[in-house]
Amino acid sequence: MPHMFVPGPVDVAEDILQAQTHPMIPHRSKEFEEIFHRAANKARQLFYTDHRVFLMTNSGSGCQEACVRNLANEKVLSCTNGAFSNRFNKMATSNGKKADKVEVPLGQAILPEMVAEALKKDNYELITIVHNETSSGVRNPVKEIAEVVHRVSPDTLIAVDAVSSLGGDKIEMDAWGIDVLFTSSQKTLALPPGLALCAVNDRALKKAETVENRGWYFDFLLLEKHRTTNSTPNTPAMSLIFALDKQLDRIAEEGLENRIARHAAMAARSQEWAAAKGWEIFPPEGYRSRTITVLLTPEDFVLSEFNKAVAPRGMRLAGGYGPMKNTSIRIAHMGEIHLPDLEDLLSALDEFTA
């Protein structure tokens, strides 16, 4: 029974843990190349893309770095409304790019009109957006933002971090015109940490050809060169790729659309419970995550005490992020968590606060 309601690393199914015990084989062998190809090919459905998916041996943050190094010589526009979108901005500035911000406070969403305004004022090669701000539970309207970018500044590339939502929420890369979309293994995909999946379209690769100092480890062009022979420039985290191959079959068995609906149902149930309980939901209506629900807690609610009380049942709940550590909780309902598991948690919260 999965019971860790924390935003990664999440519970991993037993047979997926087992899949990692596949014996080692040379990574430059027909046998591994076949598995690599199969996994990367199947992964495309998660992104709703016909483009390539790079399987990268790094956590999600590495893909943020890859985006700023490959997609901009100089100027980036960062949409920031929380810890992970601010990290994306830091990736740009610490790699020597000039990065302006479209910024709103924690708990608020980035709106398309804010992006339009910024794009009218200046030229940007790349815009970075976090789809699901794990720190606040805000789901940014990526489809509408992408529409605005295409209309106001069609040459600007769009990179989207969906580390805590892809596989539990519908993000249609090709239909929405996203150039790079990525996630990592240890959140909604319910795998152990250490692997990232990064979908990159042709326009992004073309742009990379014009960008200098892309580095080596995250160079999209080098990754593409090796990918076309079902390989990677460096030694990949093979055990995680064995697990991914199997997990993608499990996702297909459940049905991706069903999996997405399951996450939406858990978000709806968490919100309904909070409303009945009188606990405020942090993000405004219309901008609430499908994979993590952030609630403001009453003053006398002490999370460490709750976690102590439910530890014997193997349950664990995450606190708020940063300054909201003691004033909010984050219920991560992603990956292997199903509605009955969530009901267990909500009952435990009811009992604890009775």
Residues that bind ligand PLP (CB under 6 A): 8, 59-61, 84, 130, 132, 134, 161, 163-164, 184
Calpha distance 184→60 (Å, rounded): 5
Q: Do residues 341 and 1 touch, judged by C-beta distance below 8 A?
A: yes
DSSP for residue 281: B
SS3 102: strand
Contact 43, 197 (CB under 8 A): yes
If one counts every other C-beta atom within 10 angstroms of the C-beta of residue 6, the result is: 18
Q: DSSP secondary-structure letter at 301?
A: -
Give least dist CB 266 to ligand PLP, A. Answer: 17
Query: φ, ψ for residue 47 (rounded to 5)?
Result: -95, -5
Q: Are 16 and 246 in contact (CB under 8 A)?
A: yes
Of the two residues 108 and 153, which places its CB atom closer to ligand PLP in the complex?
108
Nearer to ligand PLP (CB atom), residue 61 or residue 327: 61
For 173-225, list the strands marked E by DSSP.
Answer: 180-184, 196-200
C-beta of 177 vs 192, nearer to ligand PLP: 192
Q: Are 180 and 168 in contact (CB under 8 A)?
A: no
CB of 131 to ligand PLP, least distance (A): 7
Minimum CB distance to ligand PLP, residue 227 (Å)? 21
The DSSP-derived string for 56-82 is ESS-HHHHHHHHHHHH-SSEEEEEESS
Question: Nearer Cβ to ligand PLP, position 32 or 62?
Answer: 62
CB of 34 to ligand PLP, least distance (A): 27
For the CB of residue 123, give the shortest distance to ligand PLP in the complex, in Å: 26
For ligand PLP, the closer of residues 7 and 310 by Cβ is 7
- Residue 146 and residue 159: Cα distance in Å, rounded? 10
- Compare residues 164 and 297 and give the one whose CB is closer to ligand PLP: 164
CB of 306 to ligand PLP, least distance (A): 23
Q: Which two three-digit tokens encode residue 21?
A: 């015990």
CA dist 206 and 25 (Å) reads 34
CA 159-162-167 angle, to 5 degrees, is: 135
- Closest separation in Å from C-beta 276 to ligand PLP: 28
Q: How far apart are the first and last CA of the chain?
A: 25
Minimum CB separation from ligand PLP for residue 85, in Å? 8
- Assess contact for 297 and 285: CB atoms under 8 A: no
Measured in degrees and rounded to the nearest 5, phi and psi for residue 283 equal: -75, 150
C-beta of 153 vs 328, nearer to ligand PLP: 328
The distance of closest approach from Cβ of residue 60 to ligand PLP in the complex, given in angstroms and rounded to an integer, is 3
Relative orientation angle of helices 303-310 and 339-353, to the nearest 10 degrees:
120
8 versus 320: smaller Cβ distance to ligand PLP: 8
- The CB-of-130 to ligand PLP minimum distance in angstroms stands at 5
Find the helix or strand (DSSP H, E) in which 182 lies: strand 180-184
Residue 70 vs 132, nearer CB to ligand PLP: 132
Whose Cβ is closer to ligand PLP: residue 49's or residue 132's?
Answer: 132
